[in-house]
Structure 1
Amino acid sequence: MHAFSQSPLDYLVLSKPANIRRLRERRSIRVRAQFPVRYGIGEEGAGYDGVALARGISALGLSVSAAWALGKVGERLRVAFQLRSGDNATTIETCAIIRNVQAESGDPAHATLGLELDRLTPAEQMAMKVYVFDRQDDVLYWTGSMR
């Protein structure tokens, strides 16, 4: 027994908890995706610097796999991609904030980036939501495992 307490209730502390891993709650569901995403380094500029591969998408952002870490957390990228749902195709060209950067296992040069799209028009927002809704069977859970 490590401790005994009478406030606010009578209870015993038998042992301290092991490592506690805190996870953020997702603001929207994420589904699997696989389509090319053109990217440009920084907010300003004309044209794009390369192509990454979308791995997951939510109504608020993307997870992309790139040949190298395209920036640091908090930096911005220009992104362009096309979403298809049924007979509709919507081209999205906007800026994204890098929210997460992780080296991919097996090849340290490759990186997975979590991008938050912050400048979407109402039509682009709707296209993102429709794309996610159409693929709800491909939900990626917050643990990273697939359904």
Structure 2
Amino acid sequence: MHNEHDGTESVSPEVNQIGRAVMDAAFAAHRELGPGLLESVYEHCLAQDLVRAGLQVDRQVAVPVTYRDERIDAGFRLDLLVERQVVVEIKSIDALASIHTAQLLTYLRFSQVRLGYLINFNTGRLRDGFRRLVL
């Protein structure tokens, strides 16, 4: 079972700082680009801004699933993995649904990362498409 939190509890100050950098970069990208673009555009721009901020960013990171001691490449790919400590899942859709939250929680569990952001850039106000999850 997981504990899902929207606050800053349960992760280190260092991880929270990385999370704040992700949030700042996402809001800046949304201000400049606006809604309506492809997810890949937002992914590229967000990754570029985070790298410029001095953070290590890996894109489209494969995450294997382990089932009964067998490693399975099920095609899971993290959009962004920042400093190997924060998962960022990017969407550009009409509205986030519970399945998107479940997807991010699955990514967190299998990647053994505790903090994740689900960001839907296809909104008038980015805060309406922003979810922070702690596993």
Q: TM-score, normalised by structure 1?
A: 0.31
Higher helix share: 2
Q: Computing the radius of gyration over CA atoms, which structure comes out larger, 1 or 2?
A: 1
Higher strand share: 1
